[in-house]
Structure 1
Amino acid sequence: MDDDSGGRGLNEDGTIRREGSLSRVPSAFAPVVAAARSRIAGAFDGTRLHSAYVYGSIPRGTAVPGVSDLDLLLVLRTWPTAADEAAARAVEAGLDAEFGQIDGVGALLTSTDVVTSELERHDLGFFLACLCTPLLGEDLAGRLPHYRPTPLLARETNGDLVLALPRWRRRAAEAATDAERRGLCRVVARRIVRSGFTLVMPRWRGWTSDLAESAEVFALYYPDAPERIGQMRLAARAGRIPSADPAVLATLIEDLAPWLAAEYLAVHGEKAPRP
């Protein structure tokens, strides 16, 4: 299990290969991506928007019509304002209403100085350089290093899972509809599976964003914890097809996530604090 990772999402030099490409976008989602580019350009002029990216299953070519969501990253020239946030929410709502093949739209906003900062180099910087596909503007990946599946990368990408628990518990308690519970389930399940994968990533010596594969990689290194393996596989399924069952949310938030957060802290330590 600790041998050379070969082609596990890596380039020949052992650095993590950028996943996703506009050439891989399934035909059903091509109009969605084109509309996203147009709407973003219309909502933000060149004095505000530096670059835009699409990430997730759509540029990886694994999106399923009616199930997958559209994930966007918008990098502004300065820190986002309230007006920028409102413009992004309008883009989200317009795309979600226009295209039935997507189940929701999420647009993250940040700024160039944050993405390229030393503090974010192994978190948001890695995310942009390796997990995001350029859609508009200058690709900031050219200003960032090449990344390897190291303990430092593991710590900085998911070493703050414990901080998410109070927020998830509050949202679970306040969720009043199945739609709200499914939305929370998607967020929680994906974060848990990715944390489970990055917990063991340095030992596996590779990279994947596939939820099912991530759960199986986790299972390789926890053969004596069959209950956790089963829960991780449950999370992988819920990340793809979210559940509105409160029992599923309870399992993820109250059982698996606290165990995973403690295990992560013991193995990799705490992520560098953010302001």
Structure 2
Amino acid sequence: MTEISNIGRFCLTDTNGYIINDAELKNINYEYYKVIEEVMKVYKSHLKNDLHSIYIRGSIPRGLGIHSISDIDTIAVTTKQPSEIDVQWIDEEEQALTEKYTCISGIEFSFYWMEDVLQTNHFSIIPFMIKTHSVCVLGDDVSELLPDYKADKTLGNEHLVNLWEQIELAKEDLIGNEDKEDILDCCRWIMKIIVRSGLALVIEKEHKYTRDLFPAYKLFSDYYPEKESAMKQALKYAIEPVEDPKELVDYLNKMGPWMTKEAEKWLQVHNPKKLRNMPI
């Protein structure tokens, strides 16, 4: 049985309501250093002069990493467009590092062109993540060139504007799928989306944000107590995914329509034109 622990916290904000980045090198537990060092070597080996900088994001640089459960999530800023970069090595390198280091549950390599990262007239999740949830471990830190962000509708919209498409994509991926690892990955991905979307539904009421799942689930449940048990199930699936695609599709068929209906209500109020990226 999955045990739900009260782990995580809401983002700190300054007196003007802007999110404070609490990711720092000193917060990273020693057991993750060797993994991060090897990640940097892999990036440098494959990208060479196309690599501008590397960031570690998520729970680990915030001091919230959990042994064998947390991922090493990375962002590489490149001087060349990702479409021009050979990325065929990613899956093999991610799998090799995950098997080598038992202190993590996975590795994520990702690439973003510097010119795209620095286009910040409209909200975009990667500049947001670099500014608010990441620490630079190699190269020149671009975070100082990025705007400050608040927990507001521009952020909430990121989680809600494509929610229906994401749920449908997950169901398509799950139906008839016999690849256990693929099913587990899909389960983690879509259930994290659902929990964070639940928080987005109340972001304009609370002006609070977190990538951490437990506090997101709790705040959502305060506003939607009738859906507390359903959201708790999404949280459990995200923490301990299951291999049964039918079970997951059944859940999505029940929770999905309600979530997308509430998302549509939210969009009608805060983004009736359904802009993919709202102006900051």
Instruction: Tell me the CA shift for residue 163 of structure 1.
Output: 1.9
Q: Does 1:67 align with 2:86?
A: no
Tell me how large the CA RMSD over aligned residues is: 2.3
* 1:56/1:141 CA distance change after superposition, 3 Å: same
Q: Which of residues 39, 44, 48 in structure 2 aligns to 1:45?
A: 48
In the other structure, the counterpart of 1:3 is none
In the other structure, the counterpart of 1:196 is 198
* 1:247/1:17 CA distance change after superposition, 3 Å: farther
In the other structure, the counterpart of 1:99 is 101
In the other structure, the counterpart of 1:138 is 140
Instruction: Tell me the CA shift for residue 188 of structure 1.
Output: 0.8
Q: Is the 8 A contact 2:161 2:276 kept in 1?
A: no
**CA distance in structure 1 between the aligned counterparts of 2:62 and 2:160, rounded to whole angstroms:** 21
Deviations 1:86-110 (A, max 9, x none): 2433432332232122222222222
In the other structure, the counterpart of 2:150 is 148
**CA distance in structure 2 between the aligned counterparts of 1:9 and 1:148, rounded to whole angstroms:** 10
Q: Which amino acid aligns with 1:243?
A: V
Q: Is the 8 A contact 1:123 1:157 kept in 2?
A: no
**CA distance in structure 2 between the aligned counterparts of 1:211 and 1:181, rounded to whole angstroms:** 20
**Per the alignment, in what secondary structure is the counterpart of residue 133 of structure 1?**
strand
**CA distance in structure 2 between the aligned counterparts of 1:255 and 1:13, rounded to whole angstroms:** 40
Q: Which amino acid aligns with 2:42?
A: R
In the other structure, the counterpart of 1:23 is 26
With the length of structure 2 as denominator, give the TM-score of the two structures: 0.84
Structure 1: gaps spanning 5 or more residues: 1-6
Q: Is the 8 A contact 1:212 1:237 kept in 2?
A: no
Structure 2: gaps spanning 5 or more residues: 1-9
Q: Is the 8 A contact 2:120 2:146 kept in 1?
A: no
In the other structure, the counterpart of 1:207 is 209
In the other structure, the counterpart of 2:248 is 249
Bigger drift between 75-84 and 31-40 goes to: 75-84
Instruction: Tell me the CA shift for residue 49 of structure 1.
Output: 1.2
Q: Is the 8 A contact 1:21 1:60 kept in 2?
A: yes
**Per the alignment, in what secondary structure is the counterpart of residue 44 of structure 1?**
helix
Q: Which amino acid aligns with 2:116?
A: V
**Per the alignment, in what secondary structure is the counterpart of residue 157 of structure 2?**
helix
**CA distance in structure 1 between the aligned counterparts of 2:183 and 2:239, rounded to whole angstroms:** 14
**CA distance in structure 2 between the aligned counterparts of 1:41 and 1:31, rounded to whole angstroms:** 16
Deviations 1:56-88 (A, max 9, x none): 222222222222222111221121136431243
Q: Which amino acid aligns with 2:228?
A: I
Q: Is the 8 A contact 1:115 1:121 kept in 2?
A: no
**CA distance in structure 2 between the aligned counterparts of 1:83 and 1:174, rounded to whole angstroms:** 33
* 1:19/1:249 CA distance change after superposition, 3 Å: farther
**Per the alignment, in what secondary structure is the counterpart of residue 45 of structure 1?**
helix
**CA distance in structure 2 between the aligned counterparts of 1:19 and 1:91, rounded to whole angstroms:** 29
* 1:116/1:172 CA distance change after superposition, 3 Å: same
* 1:147/1:101 CA distance change after superposition, 3 Å: same
**CA distance in structure 1 between the aligned counterparts of 2:26 and 2:103, rounded to whole angstroms:** 18
Aligned positions of 1:220-259 closer than 5 A? 220-223=222-225, 226=226, 228-246=227-245, 248-259=247-258
Q: Is the 8 A contact 1:181 1:244 kept in 2?
A: yes
Q: Does 1:265 align with 2:264?
A: yes
**CA distance in structure 1 between the aligned counterparts of 2:177 and 2:14, rounded to whole angstroms:** 43
Deviations 1:235-257 (A, max 9, x none): 12222222223354124422223
* 1:272/1:125 CA distance change after superposition, 3 Å: farther
Q: Is the 8 A contact 2:184 2:242 kept in 1?
A: yes
* 1:158/1:22 CA distance change after superposition, 3 Å: farther
Q: Which amino acid aligns with 1:257?
A: G
* 1:88/1:8 CA distance change after superposition, 3 Å: closer
In the other structure, the counterpart of 1:54 is 56
Q: Is the 8 A contact 1:57 1:63 kept in 2?
A: yes
* 1:169/1:154 CA distance change after superposition, 3 Å: same
Q: Is the 8 A contact 1:16 1:206 kept in 2?
A: no
